[in-house]
Structure 1
């Protein structure tokens, strides 16, 4: 099985990179992509963990970038997966640093607003929960759970951390066209993540998706927990029509989301096509991989 979207403690997942690799093997995966938000911070540890495996396994290094689509009439937040790009490419490296700094400042601003409203959490508590990873709203949600304010992180997102909450602070996002361009320049493969995850808010319409082909979009994440069956079918058709590859993945976050590794997967044919488009960095194989 091939799962091309998973998170670790380097961003907002609950598994360390080492634990993620071990859990992927236990779930029956033979190929996994590590795709933390706006960072490559988990790559080295995950690669070392793969190097210790005694079973065939392949690691694909990637990142999920925070992006914005703006056509002059509306602005839509979205995520873009970048696979196998050169992490030392200067322009993309600078953007990752800018986004990470923004996530930190945004997290502190949300916590400050909650504290001012009387909620018994602290910024230091959130930093400790993040454990050195890029701070995100799930870490604030966990702090609220620890304080007994909500029963779960899901509850926190439904109310105190939602985009309609008075405590919400927008995040800095890279124009999606620029993100696509920089990933391609760095030898990577840009794939739009869960584009029709409608429960998360506004999504790109078909015209907007089509418009991203010209800047260099190469794929669509079709099979995802947040996509309804009809949307999966239409996205499959769109990908074929536009000459884009189709992927599937779990968007695994460990205990912070109720979804398991391999819940949605990518076909070997799509993976082979993705690998043929990448020129940035190599795969990492376990010693037992033939």
Structure 2
């Protein structure tokens, strides 16, 4: 059984439409795929209406968080998307995305990059606009070779010259909101040092004590030794350890099913959730 619990569609910053993503997941030989767009559930309806026979779709989200100045992401699975408090927080993050992206475009233009807001908005389409859309515009202009190359201190990384802060949740609040909505909370790529500063293990332990369910251990941004370390950390803290591709379609080099989650771990996630159920085609 092949299970990928972290993917993005064009509802946020992926390139596959939600229906296309689930079809591609089935074609890639996956049995279970989670749709975890950034700060939005806008792709649910299209994805669930297009689930191919034999594929199970887990509804989810990747919430933008920050603790002590360190940005991080919290994955939520199988929560009630209509739960009011969590829905309000999603709206706050969503509403901040456009002015933030506009401000980053302005900074890039001050740095001599002729990127335009109109082109960034066109690339984002109906999706929740974010840094990958800006990076794609930079690739088109030949400023950087790949989207990943834009995420450096020279450009739009967290410490970059053109970076702009956005509305982000405290991760303890994110865990609480996900759990109160009947969902399961998993800390996404917690030791991805190539992305910037990461939380200390003491903070991860505090999150575990506050109800965190798991750690995303097997991920493209974790070296093999880091994956081993995270599996051990999860065991020590009584947390689940998941694996996933963090698929973004053509916007990143990762492929569906590049890393997967153990079937027993997936079964436990589904058993813990009370806000929604997986949907099988």
Same-fold call, TM > 0.5? yes
Aligned to 1:237: 232
Asked if the contact 2:7/2:246 (under 8 Å) is kept, the reply is yes
User: Structure 2: which 5+ residue stretches go unaligned?
Assistant: none
Structure 1 position 101 matched with structure 2 position 104: no
Q: Is the deviation greater in 218-227 or in 229-238?
A: 229-238
Specify which of 186, 190, 206 is matched with residue 185 of structure 2: 190
- Cα deviation for residue 113 of structure 1 reads 1.8
Q: How many residues align?
A: 279
- Cα deviation for residue 166 of structure 1 reads 2.1
Q: Is the deviation greater in 141-150 or in 17-26?
A: 141-150
TM-score computed with the length of structure 1 as normaliser: 0.93
How far apart in 2 are the matches of 1:155 and 1:185?
Answer: 38
- Cα deviation for residue 122 of structure 1 reads 1.2
- Cα deviation for residue 269 of structure 1 reads 0.3
User: Structure 1: which 5+ residue stretches go unaligned?
Assistant: none
Structure 2 counterpart SS, 1:4: strand
Structure 1 counterpart SS, 2:66: strand
Structure 1 position 259 matched with structure 2 position 260: no
Structure 1 position 68 matched with structure 2 position 66: yes
CA RMSD, 1 decimal:
1.2
- Cα deviation for residue 206 of structure 1 reads 1.6
Aligned to 1:31: 32
How far apart in 2 are the matches of 1:177 and 1:12?
Answer: 25
Aligned to 2:125: 131
Aligned to 1:156: 150
Asked if the contact 2:270/2:277 (under 8 Å) is kept, the reply is no
Structure 1 counterpart SS, 2:120: helix
Aligned to 1:9: 10
Q: Is the deviation greater in 150-159 or in 126-135?
A: 150-159
Aligned to 1:19: 20
Aligned to 1:281: 276
How far apart in 2 are the matches of 1:181 and 1:7?
Answer: 23
Instruction: Give 1:167-206 correspondences, 5 Å limit.
Output: 167-206=162-201
Structure 2 counterpart SS, 1:220: strand
